[in-house]
Copies of this chain bind each other. A is one copy, B any other.
Amino acid sequence: MPKKPDNRAVENSSRDRILEAALNEFAEKGLDGARVDSIAESAKISKQLIYYHFESKENLYVAALEAVFDHIRTAERNLDLSGLDPSAGISRFVEFTFDYVNEHREFVQMLMNENLQKAHYLKTSNKISSMRGPLFDLLGRLIDQGVESGDIKVRPDPVALYVTISSLCFFYSSNVHTLTVAFGIDFQSREVRTAFRSRIVNVVLASLASGALTDAG
């Protein structure tokens, strides 16, 4: 007379389901536009359970925000650049960034939401201690390596490099819709994406080579 099978692995805990549903809802609609009812519905639990687990809509939003950062951190930590020369390493780095923001629109949307709210909840959260993540340090090491090996002639400012890469990758993802309307080209299509992806790598490498990103500006 066996008890219920242990299907814990199969059906996520309802807390997890709530968080996942919330993430989608908040990413798409923002804090104000999101509806607790609709989160409950997609998580297939009663609305009240949300309050049981998360206390308030705002708290849930913060939890979703933290989840999104958790995820990207893990992905970043798994990025392995060992064995690549500086230039290849930076290329890989750019590609990783471009792919991540294009495959994880929720992350991009949450970050946009946060910026629209002047980073209000990011500042609040003490779980998102450092927003930079491990990749920034990686970038620093690549620069050091490149300068040492002579591959990089002029040492770029790491922040400038990081922001440049972020700008080029993030904007493509965050502004797909207006770009698509503006140019009548489908920026979500594989072709356009691929073309921009490699151009961005080129732009970054050209900037490094030219010394455009030095500290002095």
Secondary structure dominating the interface of A: helix
Contact partner of A33 (CB less than 8 A), chosen from B32, B168, B175, is: B32
CB nearest neighbor in B for A128: B181
Contact flag A113-B116 (CB < 8 Å), given A30-B30, A175-B170, A185-B159: yes
Residues from chain B with Cβ under 8 Å of A100 in the complex? none
Q: Which of A4-63 contact B (CB under 8 A)?
A: 28-33
Measured CA separation A16–B97 after assembly (Å): 43
Contact flag A115-B172 (CB < 8 Å), given A33-B30, A132-B183: no
Asked if A210 is an interface residue, CB under 8 A from chain B, the answer is yes
Residues from chain B with Cβ under 8 Å of A28 in the complex? 116
Measured CA separation A98–B174 after assembly (Å): 18
Asked if A138 is an interface residue, CB under 8 A from chain B, the answer is no
Distance of A192 from chain B, by nearest CB (Å): 9
Asked if A74 is an interface residue, CB under 8 A from chain B, the answer is no
Number of interface residues of A (CB under 8 A): 57
Measured CA separation A112–B213 after assembly (Å): 27
Measured CA separation A126–B30 after assembly (Å): 26
Distance of A194 from chain B, by nearest CB (Å): 7
Residues from chain B with Cβ under 8 Å of A119 in the complex? 177-178, 180-181
Measured CA separation A213–B56 after assembly (Å): 48
Contact flag A112-B112 (CB < 8 Å), given A30-B33, A167-B172, A206-B210: yes
Q: Which of A112-161 contact B (CB under 8 A)?
A: 112-116, 118-119, 122-123, 130-132, 159-160
